[in-house]
Structure 1
Amino acid sequence: MFLWKSSQNHDENDPSYRDAKVKELRVALGQLSERSSKFCTDACLRRYLEARNWNVDKAKKMLEETLKWRNTYKPEEIRWHEVAHEGETGKVSRANFHDRQGRSVLILRPGKQNTTSGEGNIRHLVYLLENAILNLPEGQEQMVWLIDYTGFSMSTSVSVRTARDIINILQNHYPERLAIAVLYNPPRIFQAFWRAVKYFLDPKTFQKVKFVYPKNKDSVELMRSYFDMENLPKEFGGNATLEYDHEEFSRLMAEDDVKASRYWGFDDRPCHAAEICSGRDIPVQSAVVNGHSKSEVAPEPY
């Protein structure tokens, strides 16, 4: 029995075994629509298999649920002008730096909460998840979350129900996308909220959540292992300055909306890329400043 278990573990780490599982899953899925086929790259199938311990039947069920969700929710069709009002305070934004492995970084600042709409908060976050994936360097499949709890209070926190819905979307429809979630210096009052939501996390996701405190030696070493201190904002123990300029970020998102439209084949569909929450039209060709740079569409963003 022990030898059989060891053999199984060895097989799961064997590239040829994994390639065979990907092919098996693709056959099991059958014919897909054009958009679903574009989503279901080999890298995508590997992530779903990884999330279900390389069980093809379980991965197939999970992936089919995601395809149903995407067909209904249509996350790839969300455009910045539709969610920009949720981002006015910079409560969630894509950082202008990557971690040491070149992964996209999302910065979340729950203390900057500015609306009470659960669906609005979810839709805004889903948009930025899709955007972070769009901007992953070639060969990267995961992103990093940095959560700054400065100014956090129960009055600025999303509801437990909204938090549960966000966790379910992340775990069920973006499996193996999260490398690590850093909860930086959460106040004591956060513990009550954490006790209410941690039970919604599956074991794999739970292990990726790291509580980090500025005066803790192990926490400091963890941050240094993941980030260049010169790029990391002071809010997370680094040396850089974190400044959120909503107008400039909106310009960046407008440009990325054009890239997303082209990738998904929406060139003939108006995406209102120049519309931002300030009410002024900003040309799509506008230069992005303040450290944000243009990124090419990765050949395989999913």
Structure 2
Amino acid sequence: MSSSSLTAHLRHELSPDQCEILNEFIKEIDSLDLTRKQRKFCTEDCLIRYLRAREFVLAKSLKMLKETLEWRESFRPDEIDPKDLTLQAESGKSYVDTTFSKKGNALVFFTPSRENSTDWTKNVKLTVFCLEQAISQMKSKGVDKLILFMDFSGYSRKNAPPFHVSREVLHILSNHYPERLQHAFMVNTPMIFNLFWNLISPFLHHVTREKIQFVRKRDFHVLQEYVDADSLQKRFGGNREEPEIKMYWQSVIDMHIQREKRKQDKRERHQHQKMSRHERTISGAGVKA
């Protein structure tokens, strides 16, 4: 399913009243003074996600989207350079696998026991980078929601992030990536996690809480309802070896460099075409004179 097919599919799921609200939302966005990048972000499927996140209350959805646009201008998630996060990433605590679910959802893995840095700003950036990477990988498949695996094997207070960091990550996920979560599997949670969960769960929207499932080793067969055994890592009961993280992260850096080069080449071509048009205009004006 292409991105245009996804938009058509999402719109098809709306009721006539919801379609009318969506059309009003589009008009509201068209009236805003946005940058080219911001307008590119505000696709129709994006607007539908924000409407769903706020139960199709237009004022709340618009407020939420405006806050996201402001956040993206300051945080700049699409400009994060993975090379700057190599130290944080090399433990394998957060990454997006190269395989997908049965329905094409990206698979994102977090393993708190592998925490290797107290630079919480960069740790949050790594999480956001993974979200952006997952969304990018799914785009060609026409899928807009990811599956999150949180492996709590070896989890303890020693490797647990500070409460304010966890709350910030949840805020970003809930408010700036709405309707992006298909499922979240919390695997092998220890007793100590219950206290943390009691503190953090009130900050989750009830719809998000319903997507979270706690899974023990004896329940690993449940995961294969969503991910084929050959695409599921062995630590979750599948057949797939976990990637060698340092090699994997270097490939992520290489792809980022190639993508940035393509962007730069495109900008240079655009600038060259703009200058050529300008020169032809001047030349034409000169001949006319």
- Go from structure 1 to structure 2 and tell me whether the alpha carbon gap of 1:169 and 1:265 turns closer, same or farther (over 3 Å shift): farther
CA offset digits 1:247-281 (Å, max 9, x no partner): 3322234314543675799856xxxxxxxxxxxxx
Tell me, what secondary structure is at the counterpart of 1:95?
strand
Q: Which residue of 2 aligns with 1:250?
A: 250
- Closer/same/farther in 2, CA of residues 139 and 16 from structure 1, 3 Å limit: farther
**Structure 1 residues 84-132: Cα deviation after superposition (integer angstroms, max 9, x where no partner):** 2110101001112101110111111111000112212101111111111
- Percentage identity across paired residues of the two chains: 29
Q: Secondary structure at the match of 1:254?
A: helix
Q: Identify the structure with the greater helix proportion.
A: 2
Please list every run of 5 or more consecutive structure 2 residues that lacks an aligned counterpart in the other structure.
1-11, 269-289
Instruction: Give the corresponding residue for 2:82.
Output: 80
Name the amino acid aligned to 2:149. Answer: L
For 1:263 and 1:20, how far apart are their aligned partners in 2?
36
Question: Which letter maps to 1:96?
Answer: T
- The structure whose Rg is larger is 2
Change (3 A) 1:166 1:264: farther
What is the identity, as a one-letter code, of the residue corresponding to 1:139? Answer: G
Maintained 8 Å contact 2:89/2:249: no
Give 1:23 deviation, angstroms. 2.0
- Residue 122 of structure 2 corresponds to 120
Q: Pairwise CA RMSD of aligned residues?
A: 2.3
Quick check: 184-193 or 98-107, which moved more?
Answer: 184-193
CA–CA distance in structure 1, aligned partners of residues 260 and 214 of structure 2: 34
Tell me which residue corresponds to 2:131. Answer: 129
- The residue type equivalent to 2:120 in the other structure is G
Q: What's the offset of the Cα at 1:22? A: 2.3
Residues 55-89 of structure 1: per-residue CA shift (max 9 Å, x gap): 11111010000001111111111111121211010
Given residue 101 of structure 2, which amino acid in structure 1 is its aligned partner? D
State the shift of 1:186 in Å.
Answer: 1.2
SS class of match (2:100): coil
Deviation at 1:234, TM superposition (A): 1.5
Structure 2 CA distance for partners of 1:266 and 1:52, relative to 1, 3 Å: farther
Taking a change above 3 Å as real, the CA distance of residues 57 and 255 of structure 1, as seen in their structure-2 partners, is same
TM-score (norm 1): 0.78
Kindly indicate whether the alpha-carbon contact (under 8 Å) linking 1:131 and 1:256 is maintained by their aligned counterparts in 2.
Answer: no
Structure 1 distance, partners of 2:25, 2:261, is 28
TM-score by length of 2: 0.82
Structure 2 CA distance for aligned equivalents of residues 185 and 255 of structure 1: 33
Q: 1:264 to 1:202 in 2, by over 3 A?
A: farther
Structure-2 separation of matches of 1:172 and 1:105: 21
How many pairs are equivalent? Answer: 255
Runs of at least 5 residues in structure 1 that lack an aligned partner in the other structure? 1-11, 269-302
Tell me the distance in 2 between the aligned counterparts of 1:194 and 1:266. 46
Partner of 2:224: 224
| Larger RCO of the pair (alpha carbons < 8 Å, separation 6+) | 1
SS in 2 for 1:116: coil
